[in-house]
Amino acid sequence: MKLIIHIKPFSFQLTRKLITSQGIINKKVGLLLQIKDSDGNCGWGEVSPIEKNELQKSIESLDFIGRQTTKDSIENYLCESQGLGALTFGLGSSLADLENLTIRKLYFEGFDITKSAYLLPTDIDPLESIVNYIDRSNETKSSCTIKWKVSNQENNFKEEKILQKILDILPKNFKLRIDPNGGWSRQKAQEWSKELKNEPRLEWIEQPLPSKDIEGLFSLANQIPIALDESLVEFPYLRKTWKSWQIRRPALDGDPRLLLKEIEQEDSQTVISTAFETGIGRRWINHLAARQVKGENPCAPGLAPGWCPKGPLFNNNPKLVWEAA
């Protein structure tokens, strides 16, 4: 099947900056893909890595593939490519559209994004945010799962002291996820694990240690629930060997068709999370998240509602997103 690839750049500002131990995210820059077959059918994809150098490598790879290509050539590239998860997500999404995978099985129809975990703002006191969210969730029946980014470089909050205050006000039916983004040492991870070991509201600690400290992560997982994120991106083999929770950001992960098969397995402990996408990328994120919560693993996905602005760039209709870019 002959295909033509069209590319369009995009950028947008988040509604507020996200401060983590790895730096600040306040803007997303990437590429939209439109792949047409000889019958005029369109597939849509998004390429928006977190790392800027990966975007440049993705552009170079698209130049290598060529603007006029075939489905077999793209499939071969997807099988052979290494380390460009954002590009393989965009290409795989486009082919999935041409295969009608998202048209035939729109899992996200009727999916309530407010059931996603609530990502606390990182630039204000988390206690204030939690109190306000608890009040809102009681009124709107929103998610009872809160995600707290810790160990960021800019805040002045005494996180160890504030943890106990959070546990004091958190309702019994709420779940807490703590995410240091790989910013803890083994010693600090042990201190927090000791404090939280018997806490029933702790769902997991996400990526407590640097991505390369595989031994430390496995050891810690014997003491307290641990979810991996960055380690799974850097070392894809862990997706098969890590038997606990896996935070998967499809837009950085690779071909979403493969991730869909993983989620459909009965023993999947995969949780879908956002990397802040346009409407084109978000179609697949919601698609996978809705499939996740309907399966054996109904826990709240991490879609961070409210962190992306509103407008046509975030519409579910890919044509409107393309026109808005």
Structure tokens at 218: 């496995």
Same domain, 28 and 132: no
Report the domain count for the chain.
2
Integer CA distances (angstroms), 192 to 70, 126, 178, 230, in order: 52, 17, 10, 20
- Domain-embedded: residue 307: no
Tokens 């052979």 appear where? 80
In a domain, 180, yes or no: yes
* CATH at 16: 3.30.390.10
The verdict on residue 312 lying in a domain is no
Inter-axis angle of helices 279-293 and 256-263, nearest 10: 10
For residues 272 and 290, give the distance between their C-alpha atoms in angstroms, rounded to a whole number. Answer: 9
- Same domain? For 155 and 27 the reply is no
- Range(s) of the domain holding residue 39: 2-104
Rounded CA-CA distance 41/31 in Å is: 20
Q: What is the pLDDT of residue 124?
A: 85
- 180 & 218 share domain: yes
* Domain end point (choices 104, 137, 167): 104
Residues 132 and 65 in one domain: no
pLDDT value, residue 141: 64
Tens-binned pLDDT, residue by residue, of the chain (325 aa): 899 999 999 999 999 999 888 888 999 999 999 999 999 999 999 999 988 899 999 999 999 999 999 999 999 999 987 779 999 999 999 999 998 865 545 455 556 777 789 999 988 888 999 999 988 877 666 678 999 999 755 454 588 888 999 999 999 999 999 999 999 999 999 999 999 999 999 999 999 999 999 999 999 999 999 999 999 999 999 999 999 999 999 999 999 999 988 888 767 799 999 999 999 999 989 889 988 888 776 789 999 999 999 999 999 899 999 999 9
Tell me whether residue 315 is in a domain.
no
**222/184 same-domain check:** yes
121 and 85 together in one domain? no
Task: Please check whether residues 241 and 147 belong to one and the same domain.
Answer: yes
